[in-house]
Structure 1
Amino acid sequence: MIGLKRNLPLVVILGSTGSGKTKLSLELAQKFDGEIVGADSMQIYKGLDISTAKATPQEQSVAPHHLIDILDPHETFTVTQYRNKALNVIQDILDRNKLPIVVGGTNYYIEALLWKILIDNDQYVNTHGILPHNEHELPSEVLHQKLKDLDPKMAMRLHPNNKRKIIRLLLNIILKIFVVCCILSLLF
């Protein structure tokens, strides 16, 4: 894992909503003296408990939870901001000789923790023309068309005005393309 002072065990539980991540994470936290680090792009926001299947207050009392309910819904939060906060939290947990257990369903948050290259290489993202630096200034229709070009099935599932999700999906596609390019460059 990138950015930590030392390499110690780290558990990552990744899965879709309702797949049992919370239950497993709490069992592991109790058994191995662990603390939960949220990796969910919606659970980071206050007040979205039901729509995100967030751990209940009772479940959160079983083990310390981090990076859950830290932002108001109107605040923006990038994957880079997540990675930086999560690395600090994980290092603090490790410094206290506890086991960090990263739990969530947001792939790009977990990818950002595990592979620094995915989010720190802005030059790759920008020079390949999929999304410019000003993607938030582009009209939703333009972004939706880019998504339709790259993933027509997903584009059909999203409303063209859902700019935040469209940008998130486009960035996720870019990251996957970049990972494939990195793997291919290692093979050839």
Structure 2
Amino acid sequence: MTQTLKTIEIFHHTLNVGNRDWTLWASKKGLIRISYQEDQGVLPASWLKTYAPSHQFSEDAGIFDQFGATKLLESYFNGEPISFNSIPLDLWGTPFQQEVWMGLAGIPHGAIVTYKELAVSIGRPQAVRAVGAANGQNPLPVVLPCHRVIGTNGTLTGYRGGLKLKQELLKLEGITNVGAAGHERFAF
């Protein structure tokens, strides 16, 4: 007997905040991903194949307004210290990745932690490299603030959106004392 795949409706909308485009993606349950301009407003094919092999896209700004994401992102990029914890999330990743990503949600606005400190905070003190790798796969930058995680040497170390963007986000939160001595190839 052939099993039919359930088609998942994926909503999207592009906002221009912080002088760049951010494409928001959601299911009916919550926010699933935020794409940078560098992602060219598309979802990674391998990610879709794994988590939504049968899907359809719908442009819909309303669902993001309903979730509160639009207003919170606009406030954040206007320099307001806000929390994104009220936005419903529908995280697609391994259980370990989801554990790391939810650990990111606990880093307050204007604070930074090291990868080691993040690993300890989620009860995985020996998994620093795995935590870094999961951090690099974070589907919800800004909302789950992976930009607030730095190397133990006090440098940025890397960011999927580029070190310049990581510095801009930290500066927006009043953090200006972190050096950019990291290397772009480290996508933690």
Give the TM-score normalised by structure 2.
Answer: 0.29
Higher strand share: 2
Identify, as 1 or 2, the structure richer in helix: 1
With normalisation by structure 1, the TM-score equals 0.29
